[in-house]
């Protein structure tokens, strides 16, 4: 159901999708947004394996100074040792000092309190955890009962020149609330009118959601694309542009549990374009990256409110 009033004039930029628009469902958006359908899609996603991997933050943020994160109920530090990503418990096994203040020396963390060297062999119960750098995101593998895999289960990303921007925001909800928000595209043009001028769901089955969306560049200037949402693992939902300008670009939203009732939204936008000059633009990384990240943060400010409300309703009723 279109939100666009007949008097609205939208000016389309770029290449529009080639196929005719075929809505999957009829009726108003609120009627299409069936809670039972969203719950079914969510249950299907939550049954998928994730190999024990949790997206933590932007890979480029992790350097030689350990940074602390809460992941799946554990306090961890992530750092880089001669370029290689490392992860380990955040508390020193001696008297509990925070290893955020540790020096990295010859492949070991040196505790700031009494100088205990903590290397890859571990110390007592303190053991480094497997870490993975996919070039965009930093991941850690936690022993959570999921059969472990060597690397995270990633959906296809664009090949060739691309621009990536990562945001990390925290929410008072469970990972399922973050996925449920993205499994409900029907709220898009209503809840984010500044971002989406028009949105029609063209496929809504157990495997994927597809939609045609006109997203605002500025005022009446929009770009129209076809996008698909699917979940490659139980904590991730990926939007892929399948037709229109920027086809192949993805937005990966990872919902990483921090602890009870706390979730980090780690979202990577990996944009590509067949347009000439995109390679040059992609090399202007920092400027464009900041713009893309600010847009993603604005959307997530609303979507976190949605996810937190969903969690609050459930907690209230339990």
Q: From the list ligand FES, Fe ion, none, pick the one residue 95 interacts with, judged by a Cβ distance below 5 to 8 Å according to partner type.
A: ligand FES
Alpha helices in 163-251 (DSSP H): 175-182, 188-191
Can you tell me the distance from the alpha carbon of 124 to that of 115, in angstroms, rounded to the nearest whole number? 16
Can you tell me the distance from the alpha carbon of 41 to that of 36, in angstroms, rounded to the nearest whole number? 9
CB within 8 Å of 311: residues ≥ 6 apart = 172, 173, 174, 177, 261
Q: From the list ligand FES, Fe ion, none, pick the one residue 190 interacts with, judged by a Cβ distance below 5 to 8 Å according to partner type.
A: none
What's the number of CA atoms in the CB half-sphere (13 Å) around residue 126? 26
Can you tell me the distance from the alpha carbon of 82 to that of 150, in angstroms, rounded to the nearest whole number? 21
Q: From the list Fe ion, ligand FES, none, pick the one residue 303 interacts with, judged by a Cβ distance below 5 to 8 Å according to partner type.
A: Fe ion
**Distance in Å, CB of 110 to ligand FES, minimum:** 9
Q: From the list Fe ion, ligand FES, none, pick the one residue 41 interacts with, judged by a Cβ distance below 5 to 8 Å according to partner type.
A: none
Pair 240, 227: CB distance under 8 Å: yes
Q: Which residue, 193 or 290, has its beta carbon nearer to Fe ion?
A: 193
Count of residues of this chain found to bind ligand FES when the rule CB under 6 A is applied: 8
Q: For the chain, what is the largest distance between any 2 Cα atoms, rounded to a whole number of angstroms?
A: 71
Q: From the list Fe ion, ligand FES, none, pick the one residue 113 interacts with, judged by a Cβ distance below 5 to 8 Å according to partner type.
A: ligand FES
Pair 133, 226: CB distance under 8 Å: no
Q: From the list ligand FES, Fe ion, none, pick the one residue 21 interacts with, judged by a Cβ distance below 5 to 8 Å according to partner type.
A: none
CB within 8 Å of 81: residues ≥ 6 apart = 64, 104, 107
**Distance in Å, CB of 134 to ligand FES, minimum:** 32
Q: Which residue, 46 or 127, has its beta carbon nearer to ligand FES?
A: 127
Binding flags for ligand FES, 33-72, as an x/- string (CB under 6 A): ----------------------------------------
Can you tell me the distance from the alpha carbon of 161 to that of 274, in angstroms, rounded to the nearest whole number? 9
**Distance in Å, CB of 102 to ligand FES, minimum:** 8
Pair 63, 70: CB distance under 8 Å: no
Q: Which residue, 27 or 115, has its beta carbon nearer to ligand FES?
A: 115
Can you tell me the distance from the alpha carbon of 235 to that of 55, in angstroms, rounded to the nearest whole number? 9
Binding flags for ligand FES, 143-172, as an x/- string (CB under 6 A): ------------------------------
**Distance in Å, CB of 70 to ligand FES, minimum:** 20
Binding flags for ligand FES, 90-129, as an x/- string (CB under 6 A): --x-xx-x-------------x-xx-x-------------
- Which of 90, 164, 303, 308 touches Fe ion by CB under 5 A? 303
Binding of ligand FES at residue 294 (CB under 6 A)?
Answer: no
**CA geometry: angle 142, 148, 153, nearest 5 deg:** 95
Q: Which residue, 94 or 230, has its beta carbon nearer to ligand FES?
A: 94
Q: Which residue, 108 or 195, has its beta carbon nearer to ligand FES?
A: 108
Can you tell me the distance from the alpha carbon of 190 to that of 187, in angstroms, rounded to the nearest whole number? 5
The secondary element (H helix, E strand) that includes residue 36 is helix 35-46
Q: Which residue, 3 or 281, has its beta carbon nearer to Fe ion?
A: 3
Measured in residues, the chain has a length of 318
**Footprint of ligand FES (CB under 6 A):** 92, 94-95, 97, 111, 113-114, 116
């Amino acid at each position: 159901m279109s939100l666009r009033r007949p008097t609205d004039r939208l000016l389309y930029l770029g290449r529009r999708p080639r196929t005719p628009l075929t809505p999957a469902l009829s009726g108003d958006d609120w009627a299409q947004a069936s809670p039972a359908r969203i719950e079914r899609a969510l249950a299907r996603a939550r049954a998928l394996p994730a190999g024990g991997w949790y997206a933590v933050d932007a890979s480029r943020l992790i350097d030689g100074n350990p940074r602390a994160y809460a992941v799946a109920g554990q306090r961890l530090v992530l750092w880089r040792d001669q370029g290689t990503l490392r992860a380990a418990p955040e508390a020193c096994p001696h008297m509990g000092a925070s290893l955020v203040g540790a020096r990295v020396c010859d492949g070991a963390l040196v505790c700031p309190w009494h100088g205990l060297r903590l290397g890859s062999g571990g110390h007592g119960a303190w053991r480094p955890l497997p870490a993975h750098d996919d070039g965009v995101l930093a991941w850690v593998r936690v022993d959570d009962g999921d059969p472990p895999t060597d690397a995270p289960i990633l959906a296809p990303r664009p090949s060739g020149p691309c621009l990536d921007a990562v945001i990390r925001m925290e929410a008072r909800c469970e990972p399922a609330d973050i996925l449920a928000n993205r499994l409900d595209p029907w709220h898009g043009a209503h809840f984010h009118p500044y971002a989406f001028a028009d949105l029609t769901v063209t496929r809504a089955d157990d495997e994927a959601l597809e939609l045609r969306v006109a997203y605002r560049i500025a005022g009446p200037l929009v770009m129209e694309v076809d996008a698909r949402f699917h979940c490659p693992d139980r904590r991730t939902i990926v939007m892929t542009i399948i037709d229109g300008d920027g086809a192949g670009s993805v937005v990966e939203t990872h919902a990483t549990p921090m602890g009870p009732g706390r979730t980090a939204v780690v979202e990577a936008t990996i944009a590509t374009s067949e347009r000439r000059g995109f390679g040059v633009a992609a090399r202007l990384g920092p400027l464009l990256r900041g713009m893309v990240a600010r847009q993603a943060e604005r959307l997530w400010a609303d979507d976190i409110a949605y996810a937190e409300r969903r969690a609050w309703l459930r907690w209230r009723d339990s």
